[in-house]
Structure formats: structure tokens, C-alpha cells
Structure 1
């Protein structure tokens, strides 16, 4: 009975090496996706208004920059 309890320990076993790789890969994907989302948030934050101005400048009829930025 004591040998069964000892084999259920929390240590790594030879059979669990594939599970450790899966956990490592999933952790890598999670870290990468978090990093990518943070970068995308910064790009969207600082690039949205210039993108709108650029699209407005290339439309017909071509407005001047002051006309695009004025609220009227």
C-alpha cells in the first residue's frame, strides 16, 4: 500500500514528457498571443486617426487638411 502512494507523487515521470511538451507549447502560444495583442492595441490606438485622415485625403472631392480636421 505504501508503494502505491509513493508512485502517485507530484514529481515528473517518464510517461508525462509529452504532456510537458504540450504545456510548454500552449504556454508559448499564450505568451505570444498576449504579446501580439498588446502590440496590436498600441498600433490601433496610435494609427486609427492618421488612417482616417489618410483615407479622407485620398477621397473625391479632395478636401484640404483643415477641412478634414474642422468639426463643421
Structure 2
């Protein structure tokens, strides 16, 4: 019968090596950044579309952009 090779890592490559202060800082910073990006995208999408629409040709008035007709 053939022997099986275990895929479990041992030593420094284990889970404990990822919990250092640098990894924790990067994880907290990326979480904070994604939360801020979500808020910016949520509240900035419609104004961005209006600004792009006002800078296109032909140049519409703000009332034409906001009216449904």
C-alpha cells in the first residue's frame, strides 16, 4: 500500500506566523479603507453621474438631468 503525504504544514509556516503585529496592522488598515471606500462609492455615485452628464455634449441644464422625461 502506498504511503500518503500529509499536506498539513508545521513550523513557522503555520497559522501563528500570520498573527504578527504587521499582519494585524495591514488587516485593520485594509478593513478601514474598504469601509471608507464603500461609503464614498455609496454617496458619490449619483453626483458623479450628474457631473459627467453636465460635462457632456450637448450641455444639459441641471433640471434636464434630474427630470424623468
Structure 1 and Structure 2 fold alike (TM over 0.5): yes
Which digits, 9 at most, give the CA deviation of each residue in 1:24-45, with x for residues without a partner? Answer: 1111100000000011011111
Secondary structure in 1 matching 2:59: coil
1:66 aligns with 2:67: no
The count of aligned residue pairs is 54
Secondary structure in 1 matching 2:20: helix
**Superposition RMSD in Å:** 1.8
The CA deviation at 1:23 is 1.5
Unmatched 5+ stretches in structure 1: 1-18
The CA deviation at 1:22 is 6.2
Secondary structure in 1 matching 2:21: helix
Distance 1:48 1:26 in 2: 32
Distance 2:60 2:38 in 1: 29
Matches for 1:1-72 after TM superposition, within 5 Å: 23-72=20-69
* TM-score, with structure 2 as normaliser: 0.70
- Flag the structure with higher helix content: 1
The CA deviation at 1:20 is 6.5
Unmatched 5+ stretches in structure 2: 1-15
